[in-house]
Amino acid sequence: MLLQVKDLNAHYGPSHVLQGISLNIADGELVALMGRNGMGKSTTLKTIMGLVKPTSGSVLFQGTEMAGLSPYQIARAGIGYVPEERRIFPDLTVLDNLMLGIKGGKIKNPNDPNTWTIERIFHHFPKLAERTHQPGGRLSGGEQQMLAIGRSLMGNPKLLLIDEPSEGLAPIMVQEVRNVLEEINKAGVSVLLVEHNMKVALSLAHRVYLMSKACIGCEAAPVEVRDNHELRAKYLEA
């Protein structure tokens, strides 16, 4: 198993924001984490990434314990993270933003076809190739999202944590970002996806975890979530 999260707990001050979260992701899987706003989906990603310190529980990645490590150490181990805010550098060019994603400033094994290089990123993100020398701040929302994903891929992660990639995007860009995520997954990167757009999430996911307040409510197949009104009413609908 690539990622095994077991009985993960986290607090913001006195608030118990994650309560016994357990989930797993196999090599090559794309798994969606879904639920209403405020259930703890983003906090789950941040805790796996070390941005929120767990108070107890285990995060095993390729058999190695990640809980308690710094975000930098977790990234070095092979987990990438694309936050909802994207956090690109608006004054730096597209190329410079991408270069910042390289671990240690140097691409290892650039001739390996499985290594993410600038050329490979531009192959998967042709819109970024057209804007190589433009400042990141001049890109559209969808292009900035692609840049954030591309920058994370430059670290050659085995697993990508992606938080609300379609948030605030025009419908045509939502479809483009969705297709990019599918390509990335087919290229061998496992993905844990938080996504409020049910159509996008269910069209991509191999499995779905549904969150209730601060905990995992259940695990389901995408077709179950799509076709089971009671499940959607319990976990997804306002």
Q: Which two tokens mark 229?
A: 């009104």
Contact 191, 30 (CB under 8 A): yes
Q: Where in the chain are the domains?
A: 3-89+159-235
CATH architecture of 3-89+159-235: 3-Layer(aba) Sandwich (3.40)
Confidence of residue 86 (pLDDT cuts 50, 70, 90): confident
Name the pTM for this structure: 0.95
Beta strands in 77-189 (DSSP E): 79-82, 159-163
Please name the residue that has the structure tokens 């990639």: 165
Task: Give tens-digit pLDDT for 139-187.
Answer: 999 999 999 999 999 999 999 999 999 999 999 999 999 999 999 999 9
